[in-house]
Amino acid sequence: MAGGTPGPLLTTPLHPSPETLSLPFCHFSQTGEAEKQKSARPDCVDGMGTPGEGLGRCSHALIRGVPESLAAGDSAGAGLPALDLAKAQREHGVLGGKLRQRLGLQLLELPPEEPLPLGPLLGDTAVIQGDTALITRPWSPARRPEVDGVRKALQDLGLRIVEMGDENATLDGTDVLFTGREFFVGLSKWTNHRGAEIVADTFRDFAVSTVPVAGPSHLRGLCGMGGPRTVVAGSSDAAQKAVRAMAALTDHPYASLTLPDDAAADCLFLRPGLPGAPPFLLHRGGGDLPNSQEALQKLSDVTLVPVSCSELEKAGAGLSSLCLVLSTRPHS
């Protein structure tokens, strides 16, 4: 589908392969009074009349500066290649500028911390929806201290903080994809089933389903939201398997758009303005991923805002891992 118009993301595969059928999917059912209310109004999410209308609402963005220790590459035990520190810091600065000036968000920047070389990837440290922030437990023990500064910043912004508190659970925030209607949690090297259960326990007003993710990827490194009703995904086997898994589990009709590059699907659909204002799609630009730019132009209902993170990518950063976005404004 690369470069084509968005097609339907089917609620069931037409011809699922045996490999697809054998994947260990899990769907956590919703319970309680909130679910009864939603059943009466199945097209509403968080009290909004349009499906997915709450997706991307934001007033603030949180980032963390790039420390010199990131240039060491394997300082966090990740075995990553060394990178150009000055270039990585420039990319990070441009990202912050786009969030503040182009999108009009209130930008909060945590200072770099040398003991936390991967600290700029703070998208792994929290899952935020509405006024609730679930503080994650990253798979890598070396990364777990990263959550402390993020927790404090989110508390100061007035969010309700939920801790995981289970030593058997692992969860990287970039394994969690929120569509505006439901959550998908990637079961990957980084996130286990207990971590997904805690996501479901935390956000009980939404269905939460698990999607197996092969290899070293996070779920959001394979697919993302190009709009309230559009899933964008890379063209790799891993990305397409993830999309088929989501299609088999969802009760909602989404459109899908396949991009040549998996990394291009790691984007952020953002609505920082008032209801009715045009939304933005923060995405990797042509300098990073030229082959995916034509396909992204098919997303005609958004204003495309390109950024680069090719140097930060060497440290394992996807675009959505480099910031946390949230709204402190009441939804209308």
Catalytically annotated residues? 218, 323
Residue 157 structure tokens: 């912004």
Q: Give yes or no for a contact between 194 and 229, defined as CB atoms under 8 angstroms apart.
A: no
Structure tokens at 165: 């508190």
Query: What is the distance between the alpha carbons of residues 60 and 12, in angstroms, rounded to a whole number?
Result: 37
Q: Give buried/exposed letters for 170-205 (b at 16+ CB in 10 A, else e).
A: bbbbbbbbbbbbbbbbbbbbbbbeebbbbbbebbeb
List the one residue out of 138, 97, 168, 157 whose CA is nearest residue 323: 97
How far is residue 221's CA from residue 289's CA, in Å, rounded to a whole number?
14
Q: Residue 298 has which token pair?
A: 């098919």
**Distance (Å, rounded) from C-alpha 15 to C-alpha 210?**
21
What secondary structure does DSSP assign to 148-206, as a single string?
HHHHHHHHHTTPEEEE---TT----GGGEEE-SSEEEEEESSS--HHHHHHHHHH-TTS
